[in-house]
Every structure is written in structure tokens, then in C-alpha cells.
Amino acid sequence: MRDSFYYLRCKVSGYKNHQTNATMPANTIVRGSVMWNLWHGCHKLSPGCKYCYVYRGDAKRDVDSSVVTQTKNFDLPIRKKRNGEYKIPSGTLVYTCFTSDFFVEDADEWRAEAWSMIKQRSDLNFILITKRIDRFAQCLPEDWGDGYNNMTICCTVENQACADYRLPIYKAVPIKHKIIICEPLLEKVDLRPFDIGTWIEQVVAGGESGNEARVCHFDWVMDLRNICVEEDVAFWFKQTGAKFVKEGKLYLIKRQLQHAQARKAEINFK
């Protein structure tokens, strides 16, 4: 699970989906988008999971986040109104499985039906984030081919070790739209060895939220931005995180200000 893509308002920009011609997100959440959490819960996998925001929220409600359950919104994309029209209108961007990981093992029995709904609603644009890109090949539908046009699959790399392991896998797998998520950014991550300009549409960077958040350094963010500029890849500095170091000074930033402070840096690209 991830601390990504929440709470921002719309600035519609970015690339066009090849099938629906809909605009995909560049440097913000898209207004009118829909959240589709079809299952809930996950297992902590790598350092970025340590202070997971879903675990924090569930703990307040005495919910065990390690138990993966199908939600009541499982069939949300194909629900219809009384007049037979879909409740989610054509062209909508659907943020998918943000309180779990789409490729978590516990959801294997439900995933085929999820793929079927995604294909059925080819007029929608689905986006998901995973730390389990190494399970991607074994979780595909039979008709995947070189990818669904309406599907963006993002890969999280919170540190260099995760980048070195996940990105070669991510580069090799057939996905039409790819975004690298460096959030929570836990150390300097060098993306230069991965030739991102030939296969990545965007890099997203952000610090960690929460009372136990680890420090994020502005220099790390700028290094990611610099490689994006060099490679002509879109870059989005999404949030500072709770503990942010710039020019040697530590700033403690309230949750409600972390996105605004990132925007004030004015370093988004494309």
C-alpha cells in the first residue's frame, strides 16, 4: 500500500489515453475521478510500508489491516442506474485498489473478475500503484497482450534497493502506461541506469506523512526532477512529507500543508 495521490485538486494535463482519448493525470488528482477500493488490507512488504497510512487509519478503528477482504464496492465500475446507464460516466479516471495492493496474493481468487470489469469498462481509465510488480506476469488475464489501453500501472520504488530490484522487471513487462512512484522517498534514488525516457511517462516524488514519518530531503527530490528533465519525462513533486530537510534545515510540516508546500516549490515538470 502507498501514501500516494490523495487530497489534491485538479489541474487537467498529461497524456491522452489511446483508446478513450481521455486525459490522464500529470501533476495532480483529476477532478471528477472515482476511488475504487475493491479489496482492503495488505501485508507489509518493504521499507516504504513501515508506517503505512492504511494501517494507521485501521488501527484507530480496531481493524486488522493484514486481513485482506473484498469490499462492498467490488463491482462499482459496472453498477448501473435505473435507466440502464452506468453510474460511473464514460471517460472517468478510476483510482484503483488504494487501500491494498492489486497484486497481493490474498486477492488472487478475485482478480480475474476485476480484470473482466476493467475490460468491460474500456471507456474508463484505471490507475493503480503496486509494490508487487514481480507478481505481475502471473496475475494477468489471458487477453492482456501488450496491455489494456485504459490501464495505467504504477510501480513504487522508495529506495535504491527497491529501484534496482523492481524497475528492471517493470521495464520488461507489457504495460501501456507506466509511472514510477518514489513515495515515501526514503533516500536518494538514482534512476539514471534505467533509461526512463524510453518507457516511463511520469515520476512522482513525495515524503512520508504521519507522526512517525522518516525524513525526506529536498536534494533527493531535485535529483529525481533533474533526471526527468534530462530524459523529458513528466515530474510531480506531490508532497513534502511531515519531516522535510532543505538546505540543511529540518522543517516539521503539518499534514494539511504538505501538498501546498510541495506546490510552492514550483518544480513540477511538464
> Going along the chain, which residue ranges are E strands?
34-36, 39-40, 69-70, 93-96, 125-130, 151-156, 177-182, 202-206, 216-217, 234-239, 243-246, 249-252
Over residues 120-129, the mean pLDDT reads: 98
- How much is the average pLDDT of 98-123? 98
Amino acid identity for residue 98 in this structure: F
DSSP assigned state of 138: G
Return the C-alpha torsion angle 146, 92, 157, 170, nearest 10: 0
Better-scored residue on pLDDT, 19 or 144: 144
Q: Is the pLDDT of residue 42 over 50?
A: yes
213 or 1: which carries more pLDDT confidence?
213
pLDDT at residue 201, as a whole number? 97
Report pLDDT digits (tens) over 196-207.
Answer: 999 999 999 999
pLDDT > 70 in the chain, percent: 89
Distance (Å, rounded) from C-alpha 208 to C-alpha 58? Answer: 18
pTM of the model: 0.91
Task: List pLDDT tens digits, range 48-85.
Answer: 999 999 999 999 999 999 999 999 999 999 999 999 99
pLDDT, greater one: 25 or 148: 148
201/176 Cα distance (integer angstroms): 10
What is the average pLDDT across 184-191?
98
Residue 7 has pLDDT above 50, yes or no: no
**8 has pLDDT over 50:** no
C-alpha gyration radius of the chain: 18
Task: List CB contacts of 163: < 8 A, sequence separation 6 or more.
Answer: 157, 189, 190, 191, 194
Which of 8-17, 159-168, 234-243, 255-264 bottoms out in mean pLDDT, i.e. has the lowest? 8-17
Sign of CA dihedral 64, 65, 67, 70: positive
d(CA 110, CA 136): 15
212 vs 27, residue with greater confidence: 212
